[in-house]
Protein backbone atom coordinates (compact mmCIF):
# COMPACT_ATOMS: atom_id res chain seq x y z
CA UNK A 1 0.00 0.00 0.00
CA UNK A 2 1.25 3.48 -0.83
CA UNK A 3 1.71 5.94 2.04
CA UNK A 4 -1.39 7.93 2.99
CA UNK A 5 -1.69 11.44 4.37
CA UNK A 6 -1.57 11.69 8.15
CA UNK A 7 -3.36 15.01 8.75
CA UNK A 8 -2.49 16.76 12.01
CA UNK A 9 -3.57 19.73 14.11
CA UNK A 10 -0.40 21.62 14.99
CA UNK A 11 0.12 23.97 17.94
CA UNK A 12 1.56 26.84 15.93
CA UNK A 13 1.42 29.92 18.18
CA UNK A 14 0.77 30.90 21.78
CA UNK A 15 -2.37 33.07 22.08
CA UNK A 16 -2.35 36.41 23.86
CA UNK A 17 0.32 38.10 21.81
CA UNK A 18 3.16 35.57 22.08
CA UNK A 19 4.17 33.62 18.99
CA UNK A 20 7.05 31.33 18.22
CA UNK A 21 8.25 29.24 15.32
CA UNK A 22 7.27 25.58 15.45
CA UNK A 23 10.19 23.21 15.42
CA UNK A 24 8.90 20.36 13.28
CA UNK A 25 6.48 21.66 10.71
CA UNK A 26 6.86 22.92 7.18
CA UNK A 27 8.31 26.32 6.35
CA UNK A 28 4.99 27.86 5.34
CA UNK A 29 3.54 27.15 8.78
CA UNK A 30 6.65 28.52 10.43
CA UNK A 31 6.18 31.80 8.59
CA UNK A 32 2.50 31.89 9.51
CA UNK A 33 3.12 31.51 13.21
CA UNK A 34 5.78 34.22 13.38
CA UNK A 35 4.02 36.71 11.12
CA UNK A 36 0.73 36.88 13.02
CA UNK A 37 -0.04 37.82 16.60
CA UNK A 38 -3.10 35.97 17.90
CA UNK A 39 -5.66 37.56 20.19
CA UNK A 40 -6.45 36.27 23.67
CA UNK A 41 -8.66 33.55 22.26
CA UNK A 42 -7.02 30.79 20.21
CA UNK A 43 -7.66 31.52 16.54
CA UNK A 44 -8.23 28.61 14.14
CA UNK A 45 -5.58 28.77 11.44
CA UNK A 46 -3.20 30.75 13.66
CA UNK A 47 -2.94 29.18 17.11
CA UNK A 48 -3.87 25.74 15.76
CA UNK A 49 -2.93 24.97 12.15
CA UNK A 50 -4.12 22.10 9.97
CA UNK A 51 -1.13 20.29 8.45
CA UNK A 52 -1.14 17.65 5.70
CA UNK A 53 2.60 17.37 5.05
CA UNK A 54 3.09 14.06 6.87
CA UNK A 55 2.43 10.61 5.42
CA UNK A 56 2.42 7.10 6.87
CA UNK A 57 2.49 3.63 5.33
CA UNK A 58 -0.19 1.75 7.23
CA UNK A 59 1.18 -1.66 6.26
CA UNK A 60 4.92 -1.22 6.75
CA UNK A 61 5.45 1.55 9.32
CA UNK A 62 7.64 0.04 12.10
CA UNK A 63 5.75 -0.55 15.34
CA UNK A 64 8.71 -1.64 17.48
CA UNK A 65 6.47 -3.58 19.83
CA UNK A 66 3.70 -0.99 19.85
CA UNK A 67 0.36 -0.48 18.13
CA UNK A 68 -0.88 1.46 15.12
CA UNK A 69 -4.03 3.40 15.99
CA UNK A 70 -6.55 5.00 13.66
CA UNK A 71 -8.10 7.99 15.43
CA UNK A 72 -11.90 7.94 15.48
CA UNK A 73 -13.03 10.69 17.87
CA UNK A 74 -11.26 13.44 19.83
CA UNK A 75 -12.33 15.43 22.87
CA UNK A 76 -11.89 19.20 22.91
CA UNK A 77 -11.87 20.66 26.42
CA UNK A 78 -11.40 24.03 28.17
CA UNK A 79 -8.11 22.95 29.78
CA UNK A 80 -6.48 23.02 26.32
CA UNK A 81 -6.23 26.80 26.72
CA UNK A 82 -3.95 26.44 29.73
CA UNK A 83 -1.59 24.21 27.76
CA UNK A 84 -1.27 26.77 24.96
CA UNK A 85 1.55 28.63 26.65
CA UNK A 86 5.30 29.00 26.57
CA UNK A 87 7.09 25.88 27.78
CA UNK A 88 8.81 27.57 30.73
CA UNK A 89 5.52 28.70 32.33
CA UNK A 90 4.65 26.18 35.09
CA UNK A 91 1.24 24.56 35.45
CA UNK A 92 -0.32 21.26 36.46
CA UNK A 93 -0.02 19.93 32.89
CA UNK A 94 2.90 20.42 30.49
CA UNK A 95 2.58 22.97 27.70
CA UNK A 96 1.76 21.83 24.21
CA UNK A 97 4.95 21.65 22.13
CA UNK A 98 5.14 24.31 19.43
CA UNK A 99 5.21 22.65 16.03
CA UNK A 100 3.82 19.35 17.28
CA UNK A 101 0.22 18.09 17.25
CA UNK A 102 -1.83 19.09 20.26
CA UNK A 103 -2.67 16.18 22.56
CA UNK A 104 -5.92 15.31 24.30
CA UNK A 105 -8.35 12.55 25.13
CA UNK A 106 -9.35 10.47 22.16
CA UNK A 107 -10.54 7.06 21.05
CA UNK A 108 -9.07 5.03 18.23
CA UNK A 109 -9.17 1.56 16.78
CA UNK A 110 -6.09 -0.66 16.60
CA UNK A 111 -5.11 -1.40 12.98
CA UNK A 112 -1.91 -3.35 13.69
CA UNK A 113 -0.48 -4.61 16.95
CA UNK A 114 2.79 -6.00 18.26
CA UNK A 115 1.66 -5.46 21.85
CA UNK A 116 0.63 -8.54 23.81
CA UNK A 117 -2.99 -8.48 24.86
CA UNK A 118 -4.01 -5.78 22.38
CA UNK A 119 -5.74 -7.44 19.43
CA UNK A 120 -6.44 -5.73 16.13
CA UNK A 121 -9.87 -4.11 16.27
CA UNK A 122 -9.59 -3.09 19.93
CA UNK A 123 -10.90 0.34 20.87
CA UNK A 124 -8.41 2.29 22.97
CA UNK A 125 -8.95 5.49 24.93
CA UNK A 126 -6.41 7.92 26.30
CA UNK A 127 -4.10 10.80 25.43
CA UNK A 128 -3.76 10.86 21.65
CA UNK A 129 -2.03 13.34 19.36
CA UNK A 130 -4.56 15.15 17.22
CA UNK A 131 -3.67 13.35 14.01
CA UNK A 132 -5.29 10.67 11.88
CA UNK A 133 -2.88 7.85 12.75
CA UNK A 134 -0.60 7.27 15.73
CA UNK A 135 2.01 4.65 16.56
CA UNK A 136 1.92 4.17 20.34
CA UNK A 137 4.94 2.36 21.82
CA UNK A 138 2.77 0.79 24.54
CA UNK A 139 -0.57 1.15 26.31
CA UNK A 140 0.99 3.10 29.17
CA UNK A 141 -1.28 6.11 28.60
CA UNK A 142 -4.10 4.18 26.92
CA UNK A 143 -6.73 1.68 27.98
CA UNK A 144 -8.85 -0.80 26.07
CA UNK A 145 -12.51 0.09 26.50
CA UNK A 146 -15.38 -2.37 26.53
CA UNK A 147 -18.05 -0.37 24.77
CA UNK A 148 -21.70 -0.62 25.73
CA UNK A 149 -23.54 -0.96 22.40
CA UNK A 150 -26.15 1.54 23.61
CA UNK A 151 -23.50 4.28 23.91
CA UNK A 152 -21.66 6.06 21.12
CA UNK A 153 -17.88 5.93 21.12
CA UNK A 154 -17.80 9.68 21.66
CA UNK A 155 -19.64 9.26 24.97
CA UNK A 156 -16.51 7.61 26.35
CA UNK A 157 -14.58 10.89 26.03
CA UNK A 158 -17.51 12.92 27.31
CA UNK A 159 -20.29 11.90 29.65
CA UNK A 160 -18.73 8.47 30.24
CA UNK A 161 -15.20 9.87 30.15
CA UNK A 162 -13.13 12.54 31.85
CA UNK A 163 -15.79 15.31 31.94
CA UNK A 164 -18.34 12.95 33.50
CA UNK A 165 -15.74 11.58 35.91
CA UNK A 166 -14.83 15.11 36.97
CA UNK A 167 -18.42 16.02 37.80
CA UNK A 168 -19.23 12.74 39.55
CA UNK A 169 -16.01 12.29 41.49
CA UNK A 170 -15.70 15.91 42.56
CA UNK A 171 -19.28 15.88 43.80
CA UNK A 172 -18.85 12.61 45.69
CA UNK A 173 -15.68 13.78 47.39
CA UNK A 174 -16.49 17.36 48.32
CA UNK A 175 -20.21 18.17 48.23
CA UNK A 176 -21.20 16.56 51.54
CA UNK A 177 -24.70 16.96 50.20
CA UNK A 178 -26.38 15.41 53.24
CA UNK A 179 -25.03 18.26 55.35
CA UNK A 180 -26.58 20.98 53.17
CA UNK A 181 -28.74 22.82 55.71
CA UNK A 182 -31.14 24.45 53.28
CA UNK A 183 -30.53 22.05 50.42
CA UNK A 184 -29.61 24.57 47.74
CA UNK A 185 -26.85 24.04 45.20
CA UNK A 186 -25.73 26.50 42.53
CA UNK A 187 -23.73 25.36 39.53
CA UNK A 188 -22.80 26.28 36.00
CA UNK A 189 -24.24 24.23 33.15
CA UNK A 190 -23.47 20.50 33.49
CA UNK A 191 -25.84 17.53 33.22
CA UNK A 192 -24.07 15.33 35.81
CA UNK A 193 -23.89 17.82 38.64
CA UNK A 194 -27.53 18.79 38.26
CA UNK A 195 -28.85 15.24 38.09
CA UNK A 196 -26.78 14.04 41.02
CA UNK A 197 -27.81 17.06 43.08
CA UNK A 198 -31.48 16.38 42.33
CA UNK A 199 -31.05 12.75 43.36
CA UNK A 200 -29.65 14.00 46.65
CA UNK A 201 -32.84 15.97 47.24
CA UNK A 202 -31.30 19.41 46.81
CA UNK A 203 -32.85 22.48 45.28
CA UNK A 204 -30.85 23.04 42.10
CA UNK A 205 -30.07 26.55 40.83
CA UNK A 206 -28.26 26.47 37.48
CA UNK A 207 -26.82 29.08 35.15
CA UNK A 208 -25.67 29.08 31.53
CA UNK A 209 -24.78 31.56 28.83
CA UNK A 210 -27.54 30.84 26.31
CA UNK A 211 -31.29 30.36 26.33
CA UNK A 212 -30.89 26.96 24.65
CA UNK A 213 -28.73 25.71 27.50
CA UNK A 214 -31.14 27.13 30.06
CA UNK A 215 -34.03 25.29 28.42
CA UNK A 216 -32.06 22.05 28.47
CA UNK A 217 -31.23 22.43 32.18
CA UNK A 218 -34.92 22.91 32.92
CA UNK A 219 -35.67 19.79 30.86
CA UNK A 220 -33.20 17.88 33.05
CA UNK A 221 -35.01 19.03 36.18
CA UNK A 222 -33.24 22.13 37.47
CA UNK A 223 -35.53 23.95 39.90
CA UNK A 224 -34.20 27.32 38.76
CA UNK A 225 -32.26 27.93 35.55
CA UNK A 226 -31.25 31.31 34.16
CA UNK A 227 -29.09 32.99 31.53
CA UNK A 228 -26.32 34.83 33.37
CA UNK A 229 -25.81 37.09 30.33
CA UNK A 230 -29.36 38.45 30.48
CA UNK A 231 -30.19 38.06 34.19
CA UNK A 232 -28.55 39.54 37.26
CA UNK A 233 -26.82 36.67 39.05
CA UNK A 234 -27.03 38.40 42.43
CA UNK A 235 -30.75 39.06 42.08
CA UNK A 236 -31.42 35.41 41.24
CA UNK A 237 -29.31 34.05 44.10
CA UNK A 238 -30.74 36.53 46.58
CA UNK A 239 -34.25 35.38 45.65
CA UNK A 240 -33.58 31.63 45.36
CA UNK A 241 -30.74 31.17 47.86
CA UNK A 242 -28.83 31.31 50.04
CA UNK A 243 -26.74 28.43 48.74
CA UNK A 244 -24.94 25.64 50.58
CA UNK A 245 -22.88 24.20 47.73
CA UNK A 246 -21.37 25.98 44.73
CA UNK A 247 -19.70 24.07 41.93
CA UNK A 248 -17.42 26.56 40.21
CA UNK A 249 -16.10 26.19 36.70
CA UNK A 250 -16.41 29.88 35.84
CA UNK A 251 -14.73 32.07 38.47
CA UNK A 252 -14.85 35.84 38.11
CA UNK A 253 -17.97 37.75 39.06
CA UNK A 254 -20.12 34.62 39.35
CA UNK A 255 -17.83 33.32 42.07
CA UNK A 256 -18.11 36.63 43.92
CA UNK A 257 -21.90 36.54 43.61
CA UNK A 258 -22.01 33.00 44.96
CA UNK A 259 -19.88 33.95 47.97
CA UNK A 260 -22.09 36.93 48.71
CA UNK A 261 -25.19 34.71 48.66
CA UNK A 262 -23.79 31.67 50.45
CA UNK A 263 -24.88 30.28 53.79
CA UNK A 264 -22.39 30.07 56.61
CA UNK A 265 -20.31 26.88 56.24
CA UNK A 266 -21.14 26.60 52.52
CA UNK A 267 -18.84 24.46 50.38
CA UNK A 268 -17.24 25.69 47.16
CA UNK A 269 -16.01 23.01 44.75
CA UNK A 270 -13.41 24.62 42.49
CA UNK A 271 -13.09 22.79 39.18
CA UNK A 272 -12.08 25.62 36.83
CA UNK A 273 -12.32 29.34 36.15
CA UNK A 274 -12.98 29.58 32.44
CA UNK A 275 -13.97 33.26 32.55
CA UNK A 276 -10.28 34.14 32.97
CA UNK A 277 -8.66 31.65 30.62
CA UNK A 278 -8.33 34.05 27.68
CA UNK A 279 -7.59 37.36 29.40
CA UNK A 280 -6.58 38.64 32.78
CA UNK A 281 -8.61 36.79 35.40
CA UNK A 282 -10.89 38.88 37.60
CA UNK A 283 -9.51 38.87 41.14
CA UNK A 284 -11.77 37.82 44.00
CA UNK A 285 -13.45 40.96 45.31
CA UNK A 286 -14.27 39.93 48.87
CA UNK A 287 -11.91 37.20 50.12
CA UNK A 288 -12.85 38.15 53.69
CA UNK A 289 -16.17 36.36 53.08
CA UNK A 290 -14.28 33.07 53.25
CA UNK A 291 -13.54 33.89 56.87
CA UNK A 292 -16.70 35.67 57.96
CA UNK A 293 -18.94 32.96 56.47
CA UNK A 294 -16.62 30.05 57.33
CA UNK A 295 -16.63 28.92 53.70
CA UNK A 296 -14.80 25.79 52.60
CA UNK A 297 -13.01 25.84 49.24
CA UNK A 298 -11.80 22.62 47.63
CA UNK A 299 -9.83 22.78 44.41
CA UNK A 300 -9.22 19.44 42.75
CA UNK A 301 -7.89 17.56 39.73
CA UNK A 302 -9.83 14.46 38.72
CA UNK A 303 -6.66 12.39 38.27
CA UNK A 304 -6.22 12.29 42.04
CA UNK A 305 -9.78 11.05 42.62
CA UNK A 306 -9.81 8.24 40.05
CA UNK A 307 -8.19 5.62 42.31
CA UNK A 308 -11.00 6.11 44.81
CA UNK A 309 -14.03 6.48 42.54
CA UNK A 310 -13.40 4.84 39.14
CA UNK A 311 -15.28 1.66 40.07
CA UNK A 312 -18.19 3.66 41.49
CA UNK A 313 -18.38 5.78 38.35
CA UNK A 314 -18.47 2.69 36.13
CA UNK A 315 -21.23 1.15 38.24
CA UNK A 316 -23.31 4.26 39.00
CA UNK A 317 -23.05 6.49 35.93
CA UNK A 318 -22.23 4.53 32.78
CA UNK A 319 -25.29 2.21 33.01
CA UNK A 320 -27.56 5.22 33.56
CA UNK A 321 -26.14 6.84 30.45
CA UNK A 322 -26.70 3.66 28.48
CA UNK A 323 -30.33 3.22 29.54
CA UNK A 324 -31.21 6.90 29.16
CA UNK A 325 -31.66 7.71 32.86
CA UNK A 326 -28.90 10.29 32.52
CA UNK A 327 -29.20 12.55 29.49
CA UNK A 328 -26.34 14.22 27.70
CA UNK A 329 -25.75 16.37 24.65
CA UNK A 330 -22.88 16.49 22.17
CA UNK A 331 -21.77 19.04 19.60
CA UNK A 332 -20.05 17.02 16.89
CA UNK A 333 -17.50 18.66 14.60
CA UNK A 334 -16.75 16.54 11.56
CA UNK A 335 -13.15 15.81 10.60
CA UNK A 336 -9.88 16.68 12.22
CA UNK A 337 -9.53 20.11 10.62
CA UNK A 338 -12.39 21.30 12.89
CA UNK A 339 -10.37 21.01 16.12
CA UNK A 340 -9.62 24.74 16.15
CA UNK A 341 -13.27 25.61 15.56
CA UNK A 342 -14.36 23.25 18.33
CA UNK A 343 -11.94 24.83 20.81
CA UNK A 344 -13.10 28.33 19.90
CA UNK A 345 -16.71 27.26 20.50
CA UNK A 346 -15.87 25.76 23.89
CA UNK A 347 -13.96 28.80 25.12
CA UNK A 348 -16.58 31.27 23.89
CA UNK A 349 -19.48 29.16 25.15
CA UNK A 350 -21.22 28.81 21.80
CA UNK A 351 -21.37 25.01 22.02
CA UNK A 352 -24.57 23.46 23.35
CA UNK A 353 -23.12 20.09 24.34
CA UNK A 354 -19.83 18.30 24.86
CA UNK A 355 -17.53 19.24 21.97
CA UNK A 356 -16.19 16.20 20.13
CA UNK A 357 -14.41 15.96 16.80
CA UNK A 358 -15.34 12.99 14.62
CA UNK A 359 -12.16 12.14 12.72
CA UNK A 360 -13.16 8.92 10.98
CA UNK A 361 -15.58 6.05 10.86
CA UNK A 362 -14.32 2.58 11.64
- Tell me: the pLDDT tens digits for 336-357? 999 999 999 999 888 888 999 9
- Residues 207, 209, 215, 216, CA torsion sign: negative
Domains detected in the chain: 4-158+328-358 (3.90.180.10), 163-303 (3.40.50.720)
Give the chain's mean pLDDT. Answer: 87
Q: How far apart are CA 331 and CA 329, in angstroms?
A: 7
pLDDT at 32 over 70: no
User: Which pLDDT band, with edges at 50, 70 and 90, does 362 fall under?
Assistant: confident
* 200-247 tens-digit pLDDT: 788 899 998 889 989 988 888 889 999 999 999 999 999 998 999 999
Q: What is the pLDDT averaged over residues 77-105?
A: 93
Query: What pLDDT is stored for residue 190 in this prediction?
Result: 59
The residue count for the chain: 362
Q: For the chain, how far is it from start to end, CA to CA, in angstroms?
A: 19
Q: Is pLDDT of 182 > 90?
A: no
For strands 184-188 and 103-113, give the pairing: unpaired
Nearest-CA neighbor of 108 among 66, 153, 149, 57?
153
- Indicate the burial class of 147 (C-beta count within 10 angstroms; 0-12, 13-18, 19 or more): middle
**Once rounded to an integer, what is the mean pLDDT over residues 103-131?**
96
Count the Cβ atoms, other than its own, within 10 Å of residue 330. 19
* CB contact at 8 A, 153 and 72: yes
State the Cα–Cα distance between residues 257 and 247, nearest whole angstrom: 13
Amino acid sequence: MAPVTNAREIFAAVPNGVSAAPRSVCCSLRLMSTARTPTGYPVPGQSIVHDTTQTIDLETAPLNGGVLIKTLVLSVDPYFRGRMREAHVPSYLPAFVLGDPIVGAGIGVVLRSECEGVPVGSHVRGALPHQEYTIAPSLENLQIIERDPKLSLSAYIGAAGMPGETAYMGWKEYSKAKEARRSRVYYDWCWTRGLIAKQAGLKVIASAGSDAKVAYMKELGADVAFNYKTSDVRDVLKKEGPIDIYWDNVGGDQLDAAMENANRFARFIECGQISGYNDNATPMKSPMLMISKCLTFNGFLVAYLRPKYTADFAADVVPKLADGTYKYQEDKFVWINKVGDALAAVLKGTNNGKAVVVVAEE
